[in-house]
């Protein structure tokens, strides 16, 4: 098992299972009202089921209570802490000192992780949180590798450090944003962000006080995406991050699809394991990030950036055109179960037709595993069909696949 934890998002029980299947050591989830992704979280029953499942296979679940709480929130917060105590969550993620105090009061046995929302950017700040009982600090996304290394080299051994390695970057400082509240009356710091940084705007900008500092604004017929950031991608930096000894590497995306989740978790799992194996063999210089990056680029995403990790003056962080990149591939299907003679029952996600080229996302390898569709069967009458559309959610098809696959395996379609 790898020394570094790979931590993935889980907005549902099914996504947690996919994350674990593709190599996550732990997942983080939230509750419906008290995390910063309140529109895509687990209810109490599904949270308990997720934790039980994770523990049954030796994995962990961390639960976010990371809103900045109003006084009117605390009755619900106290109830939720008691639930997390009873279901044996592995840790609770907080950003508000008041919430942290309640966790220590009601469930002192729960480990406390300090959310990136708390904007920890220094060793001194990390030590402050540790002095109040934090076991882990989730660093602000804005830190450079030099600043992270300083923290790693000087922190106490029993203080864990977690950092983001992939996913959306907030236009504001690690989520400290009020734009959503102002424009949509939905408060980001209460878990209800409307993501106005991704909206289109028509503006006229002129820098008067500092004419040498200019923002190039690209327009199309819809306007401009001035506030929209690229996605963070640190796949190239895995050797540096692993060598620094960071305890947990975090992928953002509780609102993403299970296809996105499987793709990204699979890539980073293989990259981490491959680098650690190369290091053991004294061949760490042979780490080749390009093959992993090529896989990440097969999932629909924004432009990619290393943000400030390698250069804290980096300006290549804005996604001005607001368009998703890499549209050559799409989610094809998810395996439900294997039937007879290499026939599988699968849940389809996009139109499938005979002769379509499909690629299987194997959990333990990023090597190509592909085939062309030769046989499709209607589930109801078991008759062959030439194509099928996902007319309703959860629609299934029988498909011939020349490989031995586990339930839950994700299949993508090349357009």
Candidate from 74-83, 97-106, 217-226, 394-403 with smallest mean pLDDT: 217-226
The residues near 210 (Cβ < 8 Å, ≥ 6 apart) are: none
If asked whether residues 148 and 102 sit together in one domain, one would say: yes
Q: Which residue has the higher pLDDT, 174 or 73?
A: 73
Domain annotation covers residue 10? yes
Query: What per-residue confidence (pLDDT) applies to 321?
Result: 65
**CA 64 to CA 73: how far, in whole Å?**
15
Query: What per-residue confidence (pLDDT) applies to 191?
Result: 61
Nearest to 152 by CA among 230, 80, 245, 67: 245
Provide the CATH number for the domain around residue 337.
Answer: 2.40.30.10
Element (H, E) at 233: strand 231-233
Domain annotation covers residue 195? no
What are the E-state strand segments in 11-111? 26-30, 60-64, 91-94
If asked whether residues 14 and 108 sit together in one domain, one would say: yes
Read off the pLDDT of each residue in 198-207 and give the average, rounded to a whole number. Answer: 62
Domain annotation covers residue 24? yes
**CA 60 to CA 24: how far, in whole Å?**
9
Picking from 272, 305, 338, the residue at the C-terminal end of a domain is 305
Q: Which residue has the higher pLDDT, 205 or 398?
A: 398
**CA 177 to CA 195: how far, in whole Å?**
10
Q: Which residue has the higher pLDDT, 45 or 105?
A: 105
Nearest to 90 by CA among 7, 154, 17: 7
- Residue 1 predicted with pLDDT over 70: no
> Are 111 and 92 within 8 A, CB to CB?
yes
Biggest CA-to-CA distance, the chain: 72
Tens of pLDDT along 165-189?
Answer: 999 887 666 666 666 665 677 766 6
**CA 114 to CA 94: how far, in whole Å?**
5
Tens of pLDDT along 358-368?
Answer: 999 999 999 99
How many Cβ atoms from other residues are within 10 Å of residue 158's Cβ? 7
Read off the pLDDT of each residue in 251-276 and give the average, rounded to a whole number. Answer: 94
Domain annotation covers residue 207? no
If asked whether residues 285 and 353 sit together in one domain, one would say: no
Tens of pLDDT along 292-327?
Answer: 999 999 997 788 989 899 988 887 777 766 566 667
- Residue 202 predicted with pLDDT over 70: no
Provide the CATH number for the domain around residue 23.
Answer: 3.20.20.70
- Residue 203 predicted with pLDDT over 90: no
Alpha carbon separation from 386 to 260, 335, 412 (Å, rounded): 27, 19, 18
- Domain count for the chain, please give it: 2
Query: Alpha-carbon dihedral of residues 343, 346, 349, 350, nearest 10 degrees?
Result: 20
Read off the pLDDT of each residue in 246-268 and give the average, rounded to a whole number. Answer: 94
Alpha carbon separation from 40 to 76, 267, 271, 306, 413 (Å, rounded): 18, 24, 28, 27, 26
Nearest to 22 by CA among 366, 354, 279, 337: 366
Query: What per-residue confidence (pLDDT) applies to 330?
Result: 93
3-state secondary structure of 29: strand
Domain of residue 67 covers 5-174+228-305
Picking from 289, 305, 321, the residue at the C-terminal end of a domain is 305
- Residue 113 predicted with pLDDT over 60: yes
Query: What per-residue confidence (pLDDT) applies to 165?
Result: 98
The residues near 235 (Cβ < 8 Å, ≥ 6 apart) are: 165, 166, 267, 268, 271, 289, 292, 293, 296
If asked whether residues 87 and 136 sit together in one domain, one would say: yes
Q: pTM for the full model?
A: 0.88
Query: What per-residue confidence (pLDDT) applies to 97?
Result: 96
If asked whether residues 132 and 232 sit together in one domain, one would say: yes
If asked whether residues 288 and 397 sit together in one domain, one would say: no
């Amino acid at each position: 098992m790898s020394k570094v934890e790979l931590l993935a998002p889980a907005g549902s029980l099914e996504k947690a299972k996919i994350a674990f299947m593709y190599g996550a050591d732990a997942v983080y989830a939230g509750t419906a009202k008290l995390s910063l992704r309140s529109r895509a979280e687990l209810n109490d029953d599904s949270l308990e089921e997720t934790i039980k499942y994770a523990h049954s296979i030796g994995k962990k679940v961390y639960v976010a209570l990371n809103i900045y709480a109003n006084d009117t929130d605390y009755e619900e917060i106290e109830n939720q802490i008691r639930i997390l105590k009873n279901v044996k969550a592995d840790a609770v993620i907080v950003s508000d000192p008041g919430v942290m105090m309640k966790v220590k009061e009601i469930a002192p046995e729960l480990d406390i992780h300090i959310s990136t929302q708390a904007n920890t950017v220094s060793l001194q700040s990390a030590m402050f949180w540790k002095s109040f009982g934090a076991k882990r600090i989730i660093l602000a996304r804005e830190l450079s590798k030099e600043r992270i290394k300083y923290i790693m080299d000087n922190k106490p051994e029993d203080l864990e450090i977690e950092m983001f390695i992939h996913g959306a970057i907030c236009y504001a400082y690690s989520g400290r944003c009020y734009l959503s509240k102002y424009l949509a009356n939905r408060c980001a710091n209460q878990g209800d962000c409307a993501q106005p940084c991704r909206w289109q705007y028509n503006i006229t900008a002129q820098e008067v006080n500092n004419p040498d500092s200019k923002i190039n604004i690209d327009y199309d017929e819809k306007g401009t995406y001035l506030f929209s950031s690229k996605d963070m991608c640190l796949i190239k930096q895995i050797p540096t991050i692993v060598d620094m000894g960071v305890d947990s590497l975090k992928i953002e995306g509780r609102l993403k699809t299970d296809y996105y989740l499987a793709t990204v978790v699979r890539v980073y799992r293989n990259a981490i394991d491959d680098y650690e194996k190369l290091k053991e063999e004294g061949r760490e210089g042979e780490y080749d990030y390009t093959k992993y990056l090529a896989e990440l680029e097969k999932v629909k995403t924004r432009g990619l950036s290393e943000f400030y990790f390698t250069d804290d003056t980096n300006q290549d962080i804005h996604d001005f055109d607001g368009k998703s990149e890499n549209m050559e591939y799409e989610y094809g299907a998810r395996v439900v179960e294997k039937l007879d003679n290499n026939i599988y029952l699968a849940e389809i996600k996009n139109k499938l037709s005979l002769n379509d080229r499909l690629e299987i996302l194997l959990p333990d390898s990023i090597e190509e595993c592909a085939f062309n569709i030769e046989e499709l069967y209607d589930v109801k009458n078991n008759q062959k069909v030439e194509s099928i559309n996902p007319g309703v959610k959860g629609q299934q098809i029988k498909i011939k696949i020349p490989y031995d696959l586990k339930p839950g395996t994700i299949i993508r379609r090349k357009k």
